[in-house]
Amino acid sequence: MLITIDGPAAAGKGTLAGKLAAKYGLAYFDTGMVYRAVGLEMLLNKKNLSDTDAAIRYARELTFPRMMELSQNPEFRSLAGSKAASVVASIPDVRKALLQMQQDFSKNPIFADGSPACGAIYDGRDTGTVVCPLAEIKLFVTASPEVRAKRRYNEYLQKGLDADYTEVLEQTVARDKNDFSRESSHPAKDAVIFDTSDLSIEEVFAKACEIIENRKKTLEK
């Protein structure tokens, strides 16, 4: 089984994907990690974010183990790391270079401990449109910018990171503008769209399970 969950930053995709992966025994690929890895290479190597050639080079050189190594760096999910990821993600050749690695995972999905899984769940912006256009189940989750900024702000505080709500909101809006200027970030035609602004994590999970069960029934017919 292949499931994709797309939507804007901090809409709750990661939390939902993790819970669904556990329920259905699926391996999980957070595709934002590939862009965060390239963005972090740029920051660590003191490259200007407008240096497109450097970003393309890091994207072409990126391996799965290197991405996992970079993900341990505290800057990986920081405000600066998020901005760098969004900037490099807007370079078409960077996206092209990172596509194969994302698609390969669905052919051979593995759990975090390296053991094989019988399917995968992806989250990102274009997983239902570009990375896995043939996925059986596609979800598109969204929420208002204010709700998403509050969630991200709370995450930073929980991790002990320095954060300012107004700055997080500004960045959320800026990333939306950048990320959704691409047609591929818009919901796939066969995606089920739902707004999580007024829902708890448990309610979002229950709704997603209902959508998946209904879709499975349709596919079995």
> For binding to ligand C5P (CB under 6 A), which residues are involved?
9, 31-32, 35-36, 82, 85-86, 89, 124-127, 175, 179
User: Residues 6, 191: contact at Cβ < 8 Å?
Assistant: yes
For 117, phi and psi rounded to 5 degrees? -120, 160
Residues 6+ apart with CB under 8 A from 100: none
**Closest CB to ligand C5P among 85 and 141?**
85
**Closest CB to ligand C5P among 168 and 218?**
168
**Closest CB to ligand C5P among 148 and 221?**
148
CB of 126 to ligand C5P, least distance (A): 5
CB of 160 to ligand C5P, least distance (A): 19
CB of 32 to ligand C5P, least distance (A): 2
**Closest CB to ligand C5P among 63 and 214?**
63
**Closest CB to ligand C5P among 31 and 106?**
31
CB of 116 to ligand C5P, least distance (A): 23
Instruction: Give strand pairing partners of 28.
Output: 121
Q: For residue 62, give the DSSP letter.
A: -
b/e 64-90 (16+ beta carbons within 10 angstroms → b): eeebeebeeeebbbbbebbbbbbbbbe
CB of 214 to ligand C5P, least distance (A): 25
C-alpha–C-alpha distance, residues 55 and 60, integer Å: 9
